[in-house]
Amino acid sequence: MEKFSTHTGKPVAIDRSNVDTDQIIPKQFLKRIERSGYGEFLFFDWRFDSDGTPKSDFVLNDERYNGASVLIAGANFGCGSSREHAPWSLYDYGFRCVIAPSFADIFYNNSLKNGLLPVTLSEEAVAEIVSRSIQDNYAITVDLENQKVTDNNGFEASFKIDEFSKFCLLNGFDDIGLTLQHEDKIAEYETRSGIPAHLG
């Protein structure tokens, strides 16, 4: 997993509440077994007509937001089914952070485990960022170490995150990476227990 310390990027706002995981990545695209390749299908039903033509009125099809890497969303983002493909698709598209007033618990935890930082700010703070996001050359900085969100126009807000998740993101540790930190102790246990090396 890629380390996350501080990220500065262009924000784009999808100012809707209760965006569920089937809207983030529709079920017909959940056929891959790897984590990559989902970005092109992100918000597919909102981005494209039935014939595959991009919808001109959807914000991600607006050239002004090409390269956006910070998603600003409404309350209860990521609700619905507990598909891990939702953070995979956001990350694969190029987003590194999602800022919202609240998140569905499972989506929040899945994001943390996959290197996508979910940031919870007050409704007032999110509304302020949404209103500023239409400005030219607008950028947001998310500082995980100091748990702050700032922009290039004087905005500043703090956010909370549990210490374990923060540690994992700062060091780029997913579940496998955490386990490998104890590789020597695992090997010692296997040797002591007589487990064949090829099974270890």
Antiparallel, parallel or unpaired: β 97-100 and 148-151: unpaired
User: Domain ranges in the chain?
Assistant: 6-171
pLDDT in tens, 72-128: 999 999 999 888 999 999 999 999 999 999 999 999 999 999 999 999 999 999 999
113 burial via Cβ count (<10 Å: 0-12, 13-18, 19+): middle
Structure tokens at 199: 């099974």
Q: Say if pTM beats, i.e. exceeds, 0.85.
A: yes
At the second CATH level, the architecture of 6-171 is Alpha-Beta Barrel (3.20)
The predicted pLDDT at position 67 comes to 96
Taking 60 as the threshold, does the pLDDT of residue 18 lie above it? Answer: yes
Rounded to whole angstroms, how far apart are CA atoms 34 and 165?
23
3 state SS of 97: strand
The strands making up 11-14's β-sheet, listed across from edge to edge, are 11-14, 70-73, 97-100, 117-120
